[in-house]
Amino acid sequence: MKFLFSKTSSHISTDTVALDDFRNNNFDLVRLFAASQVLFFHGAFHLKYSLGDFWFLEAFKGVPIFFVVSGFLVSASFERSENVRGYFLNRSLRIFPALWVCLLATVGVILWYGVSFRWCEFLPWLVAQSTFGQYYNPDFLRGFATGVMNGSLWTIPIELQFYLFFPCIFLLLRKIFSRTPRNAEIVGAFVFFLCCALFVLWLRDVLPGRYSAAYALLHNSAMRYFYLFVLGWFLQRNILSLRRVFFGKAIFWISFHYFFTWLFVVKVGLLYHPKLFHCFNVLSDCVLGCVAISCAYTFRGLAAKLTRGNDISYGVYIYHMPLVNIMIINGLSGNPLSLPILLVGTAICALLSWFLVEKPCLAFKKRTLRALG
């Protein structure tokens, strides 16, 4: 199987200008913003800051941004991979090395603070954290600080499901339609998974017990969020033909997103209608995904100048919650300096993770999107 910009591919031509337009983006900054948004809100909530101080960031949820950007970039990576094996190798190198080092540091925190545990609890948690069960939280951690050692990792199993399911869906659509999936097939997949997300939200509300095993299974299922990944896939396929809509239009999309939120939440009052609010959330996340893609193609080249190819967003995402737990256990919750300390500590951990772990491991990738130039 070989997709590398074949002439039958309908989305990116081999024209050098078009390829440069596609690759010249600010996704490193978009991911860093998304990770920082999650950091700010987790830090503000657990360290007793007023969330009202960050009202601007509240409308730009980091997790939906991650999922749409993941759909945009991962679908491009797969369609340009020489084979499925190379695709999975690249995805594994992106996720697991840094995750395992973070887990090692987390275990060190547990041992340093003398958290008591039984091996029959600790070993399953260790296996889950190092593979695809990061949402699993044993009883021995519930009394430590926030009660969850690294709560932000619940998205990792969802990302892994994206990576696994996307090739299956891509190849299934190609088999059904005897060609590389076109826009009609992708739109059909988007509508299907959008309905799945609404169904999961409805079913979650009727299940007894918010924290039941069934709730956890649904909340951590790719079926709840896969429509965002497919949206990213669709936008990736059509970004050059939609350049007038997205390129340089970030201000328009940001304003539209704010207006959309103000209209339905403030004026219509959907907060008081839970079932309708689910529909709003799903549509709002789609608009937010368009905001993220437009920001990636507005002031293009800005990320290259500011980050010079160094992407610390993953390190920010996986390290901030262990630091929050350390700060809480040391009595820093409520301290006016706690959030600045968290920002500096997370930045240091993220930089060390990038330069010592992620960047060396990513050098082993079979073929990166940047290298295709």
Give me the pLDDT at residue 10, please: 43
Is residue 208 in a domain?
yes
pLDDT at 166 over 80: yes
Q: How far is CA 214 from CA 23, 91, 161, 271, in A?
A: 41, 28, 18, 25
> Where does the pLDDT of residue 42 fall: very low under 50, low under 70, confident under 90, or very high at 90 and above?
very high
Q: What backbone torsions phi and psi does residue 131 show, to the nearest 5 degrees?
A: -120, -100
Give me the pLDDT at residue 2, please: 44
Give me the pLDDT at residue 35, please: 97
The encoded tokens of residue 266 equal 């403030």
Is residue 290 in a domain?
yes
Read off the pLDDT of each residue in 126-154 and give the average, rounded to a whole number. Answer: 93
The rounded distance, in Å, linking the Cα atoms of 171 and 185 is 12
> Where does the pLDDT of residue 363 fall: very low under 50, low under 70, confident under 90, or very high at 90 and above?
very high
The rounded distance, in Å, linking the Cα atoms of 31 and 354 is 14
Read off the pLDDT of each residue in 260-289 and give the average, rounded to a whole number. Answer: 77
Judge contact between 288 and 65, C-beta under 8 A: yes
Query: Residue 232, CB half-sphere, CA atoms under 13 Å: how many?
Result: 27
The rounded distance, in Å, linking the Cα atoms of 84 and 90 is 10
The rounded distance, in Å, linking the Cα atoms of 328 and 326 is 6
Is residue 308 in a domain?
no
Helical spans, DSSP H, in the chain: 16-23, 27-46, 55-58, 62-79, 84-112, 119-130, 155-177, 183-206, 213-219, 222-238, 243-246, 250-261, 274-296, 302-307, 313-329, 338-353, 359-362
Read off the pLDDT of each residue in 344-351 and give the average, rounded to a whole number. Answer: 98
End-to-end CA distance of the chain: 21
The rounded distance, in Å, linking the Cα atoms of 148 and 169 is 34
- Percent pLDDT > 90 in the chain is 66
The rounded distance, in Å, linking the Cα atoms of 72 and 77 is 9
pLDDT in tens, 50-106: 766 666 677 889 999 999 999 999 999 998 887 888 899 999 999 999 999 999 999
Q: Containing domain of residue 68, as a range? A: 62-303
pLDDT at 13 over 90: no
Give me the pLDDT at residue 212, please: 62
pLDDT at 1 over 60: no
Lowest mean pLDDT among 44-48, 219-223, 236-240, 250-254: 219-223
Is residue 329 in a domain?
no
The rounded distance, in Å, linking the Cα atoms of 365 and 112 is 35
pLDDT at 368 over 50: no
Is residue 12 in a domain?
no
Is residue 25 in a domain?
no
The rounded distance, in Å, linking the Cα atoms of 185 and 196 is 17
Is residue 330 in a domain?
no
Judge contact between 91 and 312, C-beta under 8 A: no
Read off the pLDDT of each residue in 273-292 and give the average, rounded to a whole number. Answer: 86
Q: Which of 321, 295, 4, 312 is nearest to 137 (CA)?
A: 321
Q: How many Å is the Cα radius of gyration of the chain?
A: 21
> Where does the pLDDT of residue 273 fall: very low under 50, low under 70, confident under 90, or very high at 90 and above?
low
Give me the pLDDT at residue 56, please: 65
Read off the pLDDT of each residue in 247-274 and give the average, rounded to a whole number. Answer: 80
Is residue 332 in a domain?
no
**b (16+ CB within 10 A) / e for 201-221:** beebeeeeeeeeeebeebbbb
- Percent pLDDT > 70 in the chain is 85
> Where does the pLDDT of residue 276 fall: very low under 50, low under 70, confident under 90, or very high at 90 and above?
confident
Give me the pLDDT at residue 209, please: 59
CA 290 to chain centre: 15
Residue type, 158: I
Domain count of the fold of the chain: 1
Judge contact between 52 and 43, C-beta under 8 A: no
pLDDT at 344 over 50: yes
